[in-house]
Structure 1
Amino acid sequence: MKLDVKYNELNKVLKFAATKDRTVILTTLNEAWAAPNSVLDLFLESFRIGNNTTWLLNHLLVIALDDKAYARCQIASLVSHCYFLQTNRSSELAGPANFMTPNYLDLLWKRLAFLQNVLELGYNFIFTDADVMWFRDPFPYFTIDSDLQTSCDQFNGKESDLKNHPNNGFIFVRSNNRSIEFYKIWVSSRKLYPGLHEQDVFNKIKDGVIPKVGLKVRFISTEVFGGFCSPSRDFSKVCTMHANCCVGLDRKIQDLNTTLEDWKHYFYTNHTISHSSHWRVPKQCHM
């Protein structure tokens, strides 16, 4: 495949970060989320204290959206791979990007277009928001016959049912013609739904576009990939915990700290009797 010059650096860093089957773990950060004692530190700590998760850091590529986030990424002790996604609005994307503001929407759509590029370069990816805490290796929970596997805010028990409420803040996508075509349509659909974020547009187009392109989609139980919207009730199964259904960076940070404390209490004290453990979150994030 002949690459445009602008993709040469990206392809190089993807190659270093990817597993043998060309899969990479991706997250995006701006200055606010990458600052000391903010979301990045909690995100990396979850890998450190999780069950067989430290090795996954070898395949984590942090996508920085501004120069200060990139600098912070480069000095973070647990991060091996960083990439600066430069845009003409990088300085405007550095702040907290409050929910549904223009900066927030631009950040999400810029991220989605970037993920389309990763698929076009032939790499599979797990995309994870940085406010997702990783407690177990997720790869054993993925099936080999699905193109796109996503976490949910709410799961109705049927993995193939498009009526589920997905949350694309934790998603595994395999690079193939179907997934590339779906992402192209998804990204281009922004102009059809001005003012909506990419998750809402996914829900708008999924019923028509997914069957049209033949995309094989799987929605994964919140018992495995949980979040503040619907926390997993079983510590012996939970793989990730997402600070979804939560508006406000400070609230997220407080409840994510509590999440890590709850996991450590379970894992380092009584992880053979998971039924006695419970999450104390959402608390600050309770809506």
Structure 2
Amino acid sequence: MLRRHLFELKPLAVLHRARTAALLCFVFGFSYIILYRAFDSCQIRLPEYLVTSTEVFSSALSFNSLPDSDDTSLETVLKAAAMHDNTVIVTTLNEAWADPNNSILDLFLTSFRLGFHTSRLLNHLVIITLDQKAFATCKRVHKHCFALTTEGVDFSQEAYFMTPDYLKMMWRRIDFLRSVLEMGYNFLFTDADIMWFRDPFPHFYPDADFQIACDHYSGNSTDVFTNIPNGGFSFVRSNIRSIEFYKYWYSSRMVYPDMHDQDVLNNIKKDAIVTDLNLNLRFLDTTYFGGFCEPSKDMEKVCTMHANCCVGLENKVHDLKIMLQDWKNFMALPSNMKSSLSPTWSPPKNCSHALLRHLGLPDEDELRDENHETFS
């Protein structure tokens, strides 16, 4: 009898529990609506750097809907190219620099193949393309390509130095590289107008968070006052210090409007926040990492040479071809003659003219013409 009574009570207990569950769902649901409306009415916003981080990261991952392409998500591309320690080599490319008729990209890739033990590093190179034509070109000549675009901005054409498009491109690059760090990858960033002649990794400081090449090197790798950094070549390790530094660097564009990333870096490298972050910042010796501004004087030590202090794509291409020929001539020498002859780089031709014209100064040919006209 007792068993029968208990059996009859079970449906009542189940009904009671169901009513309780429904009541709890209603209470929690109603509370959520109230909190959501309150949050929205207060117009609470995330800090700017977090909003930027989310926007850049999502845009970087979203532009992958190219027809007939493989899986080209950022994570996939970085993982495929990464070294054993999660390091990738990264460069950026747009249509103008990928143009087969005037290609910085061809010269860049050729330098890896002509360099001393550098061809294997192509396995770890990720080319970040800024438009669809550059992406298509990349896919034809290289295996690690990622398509990154900025909504409402066309980066396909040559961005002339210090024009609004140039500045947007440079800052887009800085913010994107920060997202690479946040994903846990170290990167060696290289401009595509840098020729690779030797493996640079043995010449990096093992304990540095951020190390960068220079337009001018003072002789002291820790000198933040007289070293003049060049943003076209940097090796950065992924950690909280480097990530916070990149956020600060990017946000500093608001403090220094109309400046490009390199000049802003030159201004903030002495800021107290860099010290507070405990960032180990090093500058790289132009003996190993030279350029037109300050060439490496020893071909037996040089790792990279940059077409810096040069304005104009055609000027860069012209003089980089001369540089590559200098390297071919050097590599063709017998080993004993490489040291005894002490070969040097040919002086830049078009780039020296272009820089002087950009600064409003006469070059040697113009001075020679003026002298000829004066004394003839």
When the two structures are superposed, what TM-score results if normalisation uses the length of structure 2? 0.73
Could you list the runs of 5+ residues in structure 2 that have no partner in the other structure? 1-53, 62-72, 356-376
Q: Kindly indicate which of the two structures has a greater share of residues assigned to strand.
A: 1
Equivalent pair of 2:209/2:236 in contact (CA under 8 Å): yes
- The corresponding residue for 2:345 is 279
Deviation of 1:7 (Å) = 6.1
Q: CA RMSD in A?
A: 1.5
Task: Please state if 1:32 is matched with 2:96.
Answer: yes
Q: 2: CA distance between counterparts of 1:268 and 1:212?
A: 50
- The corresponding residue for 2:194 is 132
Q: How is 1:253-264 mapped onto 2 (pairs within 5 angstroms)?
A: 253-264=317-328
Task: Please state if 1:215 is matched with 2:265.
Answer: no
- The corresponding residue for 1:87 is 150
Deviation of 1:212 (Å) = 2.1
Describe the shift of the 1:6–1:33 C-alpha distance in structure 2 as closer, same or farther (beyond 3 A).
closer
**How many pairs were matched up?**
282
Q: 1: CA distance between counterparts of 2:265 and 2:287?
A: 23
Q: C-alpha deviations, 1:243-283, integer Å up to 9, x for none?
A: 00000111000000000000010012245424431111322
Task: Please state if 1:196 is matched with 2:262.
Answer: no
- The corresponding residue for 1:21 is 85
Letter in 1 for 2:121: L
Q: Which of 64, 67, 70 is matched with 2:129 structurally?
A: 64
Q: 1: CA distance between counterparts of 2:347 and 2:202?
A: 26
Q: C-alpha deviations, 1:183-213, integer Å up to 9, x for none?
A: 0000111111110000011111110132121
Q: 2: CA distance between counterparts of 1:195 and 1:278?
A: 37
Describe the shift of the 1:88–1:271 C-alpha distance in structure 2 as closer, same or farther (beyond 3 A).
farther
- The corresponding residue for 1:225 is 289
Q: How is 1:106-117 mapped onto 2 (pairs within 5 angstroms)?
A: 106-117=168-179
Equivalent pair of 1:57/1:80 in contact (CA under 8 Å): no
Letter in 1 for 2:133: K
Find the residue that maps to 2:252 and give its secondary structure.
Answer: helix
Find the residue that maps to 1:279 and give its secondary structure.
Answer: coil
Higher relative contact order (CA 8 A, sep 6+): 1
Q: Kindly indicate which of the two structures has a greater share of residues assigned to helix.
A: 2
- The corresponding residue for 2:213 is 151
- The corresponding residue for 1:169 is 232
Identity between Structure 1 and Structure 2 (%): 55
Q: 1: CA distance between counterparts of 2:316 and 2:58?
A: 38
Equivalent pair of 2:81/2:88 in contact (CA under 8 Å): yes
The runs of at least 4 consecutive aligned structure 1 residues that moved more than 3 Å come to: 3-8
Could you list the runs of 5+ residues in structure 1 that have no partner in the other structure? none
Deviation of 1:88 (Å) = 1.2
Letter in 1 for 2:286: T
Q: How is 1:98-109 mapped onto 2 (pairs within 5 angstroms)?
A: 98-109=160-171
Q: C-alpha deviations, 1:13-38, integer Å up to 9, x for none?
A: 11111101000000001100011141
Q: 2: CA distance between counterparts of 1:190 and 1:85?
A: 21
Describe the shift of the 1:280–1:114 C-alpha distance in structure 2 as closer, same or farther (beyond 3 A).
same
Equivalent pair of 1:152/1:221 in contact (CA under 8 Å): yes
Q: Which of 107, 128, 153 is matched with 1:42 structurally?
A: 107
When the two structures are superposed, what TM-score results if normalisation uses the length of structure 1? 0.95
